[in-house]
Structure 1
Amino acid sequence: MEQSAETIQNAVLVWTLTVLKFIQHGIMQILNFFTFMFGNADGTNKESDKSDKPKLKSVKQIPGPAPLPIFGTTLTSPALKMTNLLKANEGRWKEFGPIVKEEHLWGFPMIHLLDADHIEYASKMIGNFRPGMEILTTYRSNHPDRYDSIGLTNAQGEEWEMLHGALSPLITNLNFIKSIAPAAAEMTADFKDLIKESGPYIEDVQSLVRKFAAESSFYNVFGRRMGFMFNEVPTNMQEFLHTHDRLWRAVHQSSYGFPWWKYFPTSLWNQNAKSESLLLDMMENMIQTSIKEDSTHEGLLGGLLDVKDVSYKTKRLLALETILGSGDSVISALTFALYWISRDKRVSNKLYEELKTILPTKDSELNYDELQKLPYLKACITESYRMSNPAPNIMRLVEQPLELGGYLIPAYSLLILQWGFAVMQEDSFYKPKEFLPERWIYEGNEPRFQPHRRSLMHPFGYGKRSCPGKRIVTLYVHVLLARIFRNFEVTGSCPLEPKYEWLIQPGNVLPLTFRERSDDE
């Protein structure tokens, strides 16, 4: 009985502490944003009262869905429940206009910019602070035995500068990019064989693209092939992909609804923790294998391990994040480019004619320098980014008060620049709903079609916080598309719906038909 009573007392104590923690968190959040939300009596600053300029409206007055106490608009915003981001933003604009305020938990404002002029102006004013993935940040911060850092994507300030300084010089180095081009060409040849084995009609092209993306992302780090493009993928590599999927779903789901995982060990938290731990263990095993085999010099890993003043645990995490980030970007970019080009016979035939000038035969060697001689291929990829970009918005915390559209946006507000929506409007691009690669073929310094607001395009992010691996992703996308459309006539008619889960990903399978071309065509 004494043991039972003690157990009950402990349970009550745990419950009481949890409730107190919950209340404390809520009070702190409310206090943090009380001044932010209400400020002075009129919601503006004193300086604006003294000037002759029109009185600026406060952030409270920005239109948007009606918020609820504690939950903000997480339960009342139709847009937050949609997976098609373009349609969600169309709804925001139609109901509320070019600037829309939604609220996260505890009333934290999220300000969506939908107008091209506002986006162009704000992009010049925003800093380098952006929100991270909170569930990852929390887990990594709570496990100092395994992490010295929360990772490049989540870090801010000096920590981010340190991580960026360790990885960026390696991954953006032109000599490194050129060094992986032969391996990229080898992988594209294997991909061509996969198409022949699976085709001519392939019901789920994305499943093949995923093999290529995984193979290329691991090669970047380890400098060797891992077997993703074999008929029988190694068991440990299959496990890595499945674990990555589980982690990504947990991270996405943690961003919506009330974060019960902060207060209780929910199934979502357990899924994140187990996936994160398992991925790090697998990464450790692969790194140690490379060290034992003395093969670290083959990829980015060797350069990372040689970086001074950065701990081994941080280098390991950077290597893992490089694999996870580049793989997702390649999958999305390749799948959507295949979709858009295959839907338009005029475009695919024009691309084929250009490719024949550089690749006279289907198996002609394609090196890095020759890729620069394919302007129409580049135009097709850029246009695909405009139509279906993996990262169609930019999130930043403004570091100084910002006057925008008649409103005074306080410092440390979260701005979401919805450039993927803006580039689909008629005041931004000529015939914006049409896939038209020719818009990116300039006559001299001028585009062929107007309007043409190139400054809105940020396919890999903006400024210092842009994707450091964009050169690598660009290489793989160019090489694979060149090889595919030189070897095959690709056709398809099934719509491909976008799905927003941090990145824009294909929301359904993509069926395509690959008819092998002859060298005489």
Structure 2
Amino acid sequence: MKIRGVVYNFGKQKLSTCPVKDDVTVFNRQVYYQKLGSQQDFDSKPNDWDDALPFEKIPGPKPLPIIGNTFRFLPYIGDFYGVDLKELQRRFYKQYGRIAILKDLKVAKNIVLLYSPEDIEKLHRNEGVWPHREVLNSFTYYRNILRKDIFQGIGGVATVQGEDWFNIRSKVNPILMQPRMAHQYIDKMDEVAEDLVKRMRQLANRNKNREMPPDFIKELNKWALEAAGLIALDRRLGCLDDLVPDSETQKLVDYVIEMFWLIYQFDVLPSLWKYISTPLWKRYITVLDYITLTFVKYIDETAKNIGDKLQNKAEYEMSILERLLKLDPRIAKATAIDTLTAGIDTTGKTTGAALYFLARNPKVQTKLREELCRVLPTKETPVTKEILAETPYLKAVIKETTRFCPIAIVNIRKTLKDLVLGGYQIPKGTIVHTANGVLSLEEEHFVKSKEFIPERWIRNGEKEISCKNTHPFVFLPFGYGPRACLGKRLANMEMEIVLARIIRNLFLEWPHADMKFTTTLVHGVGDPLKLRVTEVDK
């Protein structure tokens, strides 16, 4: 394949520059895992299978004939209608204990919910080298069927399973997960964070109480898109300017937020989209088309600008997008679009939650600012990787935020073999949700679990509140194993930089009632984020 004079030989291309023993290349590792995957034994039953209770005995709400439990989510007649998913999981835990089941749903035949970290660990330890995580069916249909002319068989890691998933993930992992690749963006991300601080000052000056506007979460979403654009497009998008409502950039932000809501309607709640084309479905396609075509335009412009330069550029000098383009333009396209869309609502909401908790807990905010003033003696001191390495309390604040407010309240797997979980037989092919979002707020696992205490994450900190002995499978904010979040390292770095800039420059206050958090496809702040901000003196 050739782009602007650069020849891409995918069969011979090494995918990692990390040193490995015995000159083992990524290609050899691929062959190894492919062979290992083909040799997995998914047919044998566990030794304790015959002693376990049958699957049919798992406790849960009783389904009705024909319609199952779907009616519970319908308006007027359903006792689950309008109930936040995290609250629903919490109710199940209180009513049924460490394992429960929702039977006979349109979105899945049965869904088992796990509330035991030991069972969650057992599930993940038996997921094989190619874990099966249920795809978003409507989203996959759009990329692989409706717009296959655009994605050309590579819809991204979120749309495939098994060896197809592994073939993509094994190529992008060495690019997106290397610390060195993330560190090359620190300077530019710091500039974006400074622009957000300037924007917050402007917004505060427009309000006599110096409060952020009710839709301030949109500003955080625009910051998140601007930061994602650096990684996925090698360019600034101008998201933090004063945008008019119908500008391309503002529409992108709004449409991505709407996309997450629409996916929730079609892939989480009961839906007949496979059988009936409704106005909401047509709106969904319109939204996805706008997002896809706009981002493809950006990617093509960037590829055109850098294409001639790649042939004379050393790999260690390349950006993430340049490496992906050199690897496979189809993978570059899908990965770039995923980076741009996934980063907006997820990183934006987590950052919003962190700002709320800091405003709500002034002692924590003061302690964080003291740490930041030590490493950033002036407001103009640039953020570097060395400085970020000296901010343990900042990292603890982010961890505590994701304990309270994880973007994903569950990890989802389909069992690839028969298992015994919670004392019950779980047949191969069962959909299982691990309710980590509920467990993370239980006193059983975290001392003073309802209090925002970043100190619990500090190594060698106070023993009374330390989470050192908490089961490691209670807290999985980015998932687990081979299918853990690809953007974890970049997302954490983005949040570290922006929180460092904001807290170093601004005092935050929260003169309102407690924030309500809501769950659709992602979990996050549900009320207007009307932070009150004042300037730090020096």
Partner of 2:192: 187
Whether the 8 Å contact between 2:140 and 2:155 is mirrored in structure 1 is yes
In 2, Cα distance between the equivalents of 1:449 and 1:79?
A: 39
Partner of 1:322: 339
Partner of 2:221: 210
**Bigger shift: 467-476 or 448-457?**
448-457
The correspondence for 2:495, drawn from 468, 474, 477, is 477
Query: In structure 2, do the counterparts of structure 1 residues 64 and 192 end up closer, same or farther at CA, with 3 Å as the change threshold?
Result: same
Partner of 1:227: 238
Query: In structure 2, do the counterparts of structure 1 residues 157 and 426 end up closer, same or farther at CA, with 3 Å as the change threshold?
Result: same
Other structure's SS at 1:150 match: coil
In 1, Cα distance between the equivalents of 2:79 and 2:413?
A: 20
Question: Could you say which structure has the larger radius of gyration?
Answer: 1
Scaled by the length of structure 1, the TM-score of the pair is 0.84
Partner of 1:516: 535
In 1, Cα distance between the equivalents of 2:269 and 2:366?
A: 47
Query: In structure 2, do the counterparts of structure 1 residues 71 and 256 end up closer, same or farther at CA, with 3 Å as the change threshold?
Result: farther
Partner of 2:55: 59
Whether the 8 Å contact between 2:49 and 2:425 is mirrored in structure 1 is no
Other structure's SS at 1:184 match: helix
Percent of aligned positions that are identical: 26
Q: Which has the higher contact order (CA 8 A, sep 6+)?
A: 2
Structure 1 residue 82: Cα displacement: 4.5
Amino acid at match of 1:95: Q
Query: In structure 2, do the counterparts of structure 1 residues 62 and 79 end up closer, same or farther at CA, with 3 Å as the change threshold?
Result: farther
**Bigger shift: 154-163 or 476-485?**
154-163
Whether the 8 Å contact between 2:44 and 2:417 is mirrored in structure 1 is no
Partner of 2:260: 248
In 2, Cα distance between the equivalents of 1:52 and 1:192?
A: 57
Partner of 2:36: none
Scaled by the length of structure 2, the TM-score of the pair is 0.81
- Structure 2 unaligned runs (5+)? 1-42, 205-209, 311-317
Partner of 1:73: 69
Partner of 1:123: 124
In 1, Cα distance between the equivalents of 2:495 and 2:107?
A: 42
**Bigger shift: 291-300 or 191-200?**
291-300
Q: Does 1:463 align with 2:481?
A: yes
Query: In structure 2, do the counterparts of structure 1 residues 249 and 431 end up closer, same or farther at CA, with 3 Å as the change threshold?
Result: same
Query: In structure 2, do the counterparts of structure 1 residues 83 and 164 end up closer, same or farther at CA, with 3 Å as the change threshold?
Result: farther
Other structure's SS at 1:126 match: coil
Whether the 8 Å contact between 1:120 and 1:455 is mirrored in structure 2 is yes
**Bigger shift: 340-349 or 290-299?**
290-299
**Bigger shift: 454-463 or 248-257?**
248-257
Root-mean-square deviation (Å): 2.6
Other structure's SS at 1:260 match: coil
Q: Does 1:408 align with 2:425?
A: yes
Whether the 8 Å contact between 1:425 and 1:432 is mirrored in structure 2 is yes
Whether the 8 Å contact between 2:118 and 2:473 is mirrored in structure 1 is no
In 2, Cα distance between the equivalents of 1:133 and 1:150?
A: 12
Query: In structure 2, do the counterparts of structure 1 residues 118 and 81 end up closer, same or farther at CA, with 3 Å as the change threshold?
Result: farther
Whether the 8 Å contact between 2:393 and 2:458 is mirrored in structure 1 is yes
**Bigger shift: 256-265 or 410-419?**
256-265
The correspondence for 2:322, drawn from 302, 310, 320, is 302
- Structure 1 unaligned runs (5+)? 1-44
Question: What do residues 48-77 of structure 1 show as CA deviations (whole Å, max 9, x unaligned)?
Answer: 9xx898742222111111213454322226
Other structure's SS at 1:145 match: helix
The correspondence for 1:201, drawn from 211, 218, 234, is 211
Whether the 8 Å contact between 1:83 and 1:501 is mirrored in structure 2 is no
Query: In structure 2, do the counterparts of structure 1 residues 133 and 197 end up closer, same or farther at CA, with 3 Å as the change threshold?
Result: same
Q: Does 1:160 align with 2:175?
A: no
Structure 1 residue 506: Cα displacement: 1.8
